[in-house]
Amino acid sequence: MLKTRVWRVDAARPDPSAIREAAEVLRGGGLVAFPTETVYGLGADAYNASAVRRIFEVKGRPPDNPLIVHISRLEQLEELASSLPPAAEELARAFWPGPLTIVVPRSPRVPDEVTASLPKVAVRMPAHKVALALIEELGSPIAAPSANLSGRPSPTSAEHVLRDLGGRVEGILDAGDTLYGVESTIVDLTSEPPVLLRPGALPLERIEHVLGVKVSVPEFARGLREAEVALAPGMRYRHYAPRAAMVVVESSDYGDLARVARTVARLALEEVRRGRRVCVLCTDETLGYYSEAAAEGVGLKSLGTREDPFTIARNLFRRLREVDDEGYEFVVAEGVEERGLGLAIMNRLRKASGFNIIRV
């Protein structure tokens, strides 16, 4: 067991001495978890192969699941990539720093451990003062996946990181809750048209608007099935998942929420009557439909309001962790419309359920 140091820092004006100490840990080959605007990352010096290997050990992450490299200045993109497609520069200019990861051809300088030996590398410039200050202080890019145990919901607070990785990593920079609560959007720019590998905090529509082309959206990016390893490494495991069994109830018409709620309530009641501890993940708009279920002991949690999917994205992983902490055995979740942030929300819910989807 390691002693995990926690540096509490201000998200807007991080204490330079904490950043210096954390960068020193990274320089020595150690691991530091740090906040970004999406979720907390578990960082290692991207050019230190043995430090990067430790990320996989500590998370229990399959070695064929590559890491995103985080940068603080554009020159670092040029140093990581062997060539840059024009779309890379357009997207970097439009969205960095921000919740977009681009996949580009990789330079030989990047260790195999980072890319799982793929010929391409995933790069992003995060929009968070703490993350940027840490990369600047280290003076080189930081490889970082989400700072959770592999398979668990991604961490949106330092407490989540401590719960999963306390005693296993050298330090955590704690700057409170993250802004978006879902991971970055990943687009692969090594093919034409570009391919969405993972929907995330940056809506796909905004990327397409800047590029002036449609991005290809494979079924696995919608969370409808598992990916083939060659297409999207690391996208083929049950992920983001609570320990509880889970089902997602989807609709082609969320204008008719009563219809969705009727099915959710029926499934929840069936399970609670079998003696299982059941929780419904609903939205502010549908809370009122579940009074009968609640009276029979079904737990209710709202993810946020459908009027503002940002709130739903932001609460999602926290709610999935609460479900486990509170001992629920079965979760019934309502779907949301697959537009804007809704694409990322549905990807996470479907994967969390192990693709257990019911359509009404």
Whether the CB-CB separation of 336 and 254 falls below 8 Å is answered with yes
Instruction: Find the part of the chain contacting ligand AMP (CB under 6 A) among 28-36, 66-74, 294-302, 329-337.
Output: 66-74
Q: How far apart are CA 119 and CA 108, in angstroms?
A: 9
Partner interacting with residue 103 (select from Mg ion, ligand AMP, none; CB below 5-8 Å by kind): ligand AMP
Q: Does 146 bind Mg ion (CB under 5 A)?
A: yes
Q: Does 101 bind Mg ion (CB under 5 A)?
A: no
Residues 83-112, interacting with ligand AMP (CB under 6 A) = 103
Q: Does 215 bind ligand AMP (CB under 6 A)?
A: no
201: its two tokens: 């905090």
CB of 144 to ligand AMP, least distance (A): 7
Whether the CB-CB separation of 139 and 159 falls below 8 Å is answered with no
Whether the CB-CB separation of 206 and 90 falls below 8 Å is answered with no
Q: Does 145 bind ligand AMP (CB under 6 A)?
A: yes
Q: Does 77 bind ligand AMP (CB under 6 A)?
A: no
Q: How far apart are CA 181 and CA 311, in angstroms?
A: 9
Closer of 191 and 252 to ligand AMP (Cβ)? 191
Q: How far apart are CA 210 and CA 311, in angstroms?
A: 25
Residues 40, 200, 335, CA angle at the centre, nearest 5°?
110
Give the residues across from 174 on adjacent strands: 8
Closer of 60 and 288 to Mg ion (Cβ)? 60
Instruction: Find the part of the chain contacting ligand AMP (CB under 6 A) among 28-36, 113-121, 331-339, 350-358.
Output: 113-121
Q: Please name which of 194, 199, 221, 202 lies closest in space to residue 86, comparing C-alpha atoms.
A: 194
Partner interacting with residue 55 (select from Mg ion, ligand AMP, none; CB below 5-8 Å by kind): none
Closer of 76 and 146 to Mg ion (Cβ)? 146
Instruction: Find the part of the chain contacting Mg ion (CB under 5 A) among 86-94, 140-148, 268-276, 306-314.
Output: 140-148
Whether the CB-CB separation of 247 and 221 falls below 8 Å is answered with no
Amino acid residing at 223 = G
| Residues at the site binding Mg ion, with contacts judged by CB under 5 A | 145-146
Binding site for ligand AMP (CB under 6 A): 65-68, 103, 115, 118, 120-122, 145-146, 183, 186, 197, 232-235
